[in-house]
Structure 1
Amino acid sequence: MFDVNYFSEATCCTVQSQTTEINRVRKDMYNDTASGLVEKHPLELPDPLGPVVHVQEKLFVPVKEYPDYNFVGRILGPRGLTAKQLEAETGCKIMVRGKSSMRDKKKEEQNRGKPNWEHLNEDLHVLITVEDTQGRAEMKMRRAVEEVKKLLVPAAEGEDNLKKMQLMELAILNGTYRDTNIKTHAPIFISPSLIQILPSLGNAEGEDNLKKMQLMELAILNGTYRDTNIKTRKTTL
């Protein structure tokens, strides 16, 4: 019989190990002065004063100057890790919008002109939004704009340290990263073909337990898995 609780504990340990390894790699790269990466210090925000406001800004991507450069991948990172990390650091929401912002080009064409998809008629850009009191929102926005602008400057081939870090993070998530300086446990099998967990994990007759396991594994990696029987700590990437 498929033991959901046992699998949940095992996979949570795997995800925690991946998170620890990603953070270790980042720290090592930041500490390596030759890498060119500079560790960022957290924002020191004042106490909230006044009403909450909504602030947004668009930064257009220089696709005309660099038509062959993968800006979307650089901004988002593997499985969205780079954008998520920036959001955690700045307190802002960071979204890629405009032409060629969607991976599925056919779907992009289908959505163009529809309500709530007006941005697809604009040039490719990064939309940064934040809600906070005026002073705090402005500080967060300045930090986010500063960091995103760095991503919009292509690095020379072989000198893109952010890309090196992203490739390492992707290898860790895929279970293919190897570091001879540490010992790692064998990773649990991850199915790359499934993208979300089934809403119910019952033992219905004829249900494929392997498929359930694969769905759970990928849902945990994607951050969409919820198990009320166990407690997990949130880890910011």
Structure 2
Amino acid sequence: EELLKLDNTFIAPDDYKPPIKKRKIYIPDADIDDTNYIGLIIGPGGKTQKDLEKRSKCKIAIRGKGANIKSRIYNKRENDQNEPLHILVESLNEEDLEVGVRLIEELLDPSSDVKKNQ
């Protein structure tokens, strides 16, 4: 991307894949209030998560300690299983990533009206 800005004649190699931009948003502690933040993000049948992904053009996943039951069942460890519970937002560009982060932060904000509509 930076090379294209510097030299518009630059052609990327055929096997080039742009780097994925990532951001972690840590989920507030459930002991502080009784809000089910994971349920807010996923929604009924995963509908809210799919809607967030569609609106932001990002991949949204819940990661961290206790987020993945399959890893416990199949004895498979994820790299971030020792980290606190968080939402991983991934995108190919910074603009979409910012949209995804903003949408997630609105859901996690205790004063937000978005959460009340869920």
TM-score by length of 2: 0.71
- Does residue 92 (structure 1) correspond to residue 92 (structure 2)? The answer is no
1:138 counterpart residue number: 94
- Does residue 58 (structure 1) correspond to residue 31 (structure 2)? The answer is no
| C-alpha deviation, 1:110, in angstroms | 4.8
| C-alpha deviation, 1:79, in angstroms | 0.7
1:80 counterpart residue number: 46
Structure having the larger proportion of residues in strand:
2
CA distance in 1, matches of 2:40, 2:63: 14
- Does residue 162 (structure 1) correspond to residue 117 (structure 2)? The answer is yes
Structure with the greater alpha carbon radius of gyration = 1
Q: CA RMSD in A?
A: 2.7
| C-alpha deviation, 1:111, in angstroms | 5.6
> Percent identity, aligned pairs only?
31
| C-alpha deviation, 1:64, in angstroms | 5.7
User: Could you say which structure has the greater relative contact order, defined with CA pairs below 8 angstroms and 6 or more residues apart?
Assistant: 2
* Structure 1: runs of 5 or more not aligned: 1-48, 132-136, 164-237
2:109 counterpart residue number: 153
Count of residue pairs brought into register by the alignment: 103
CA distance in 2, matches of 1:111, 1:122: 19
CA distance in 1, matches of 2:97, 2:20: 11
Pairwise mapping of residues 166-181 of structure 1 onto structure 2 (< 5 A)? Answer: none
Contact 1:98 1:123 in 2 (8 A): yes
Structure having the larger proportion of residues in helix:
1
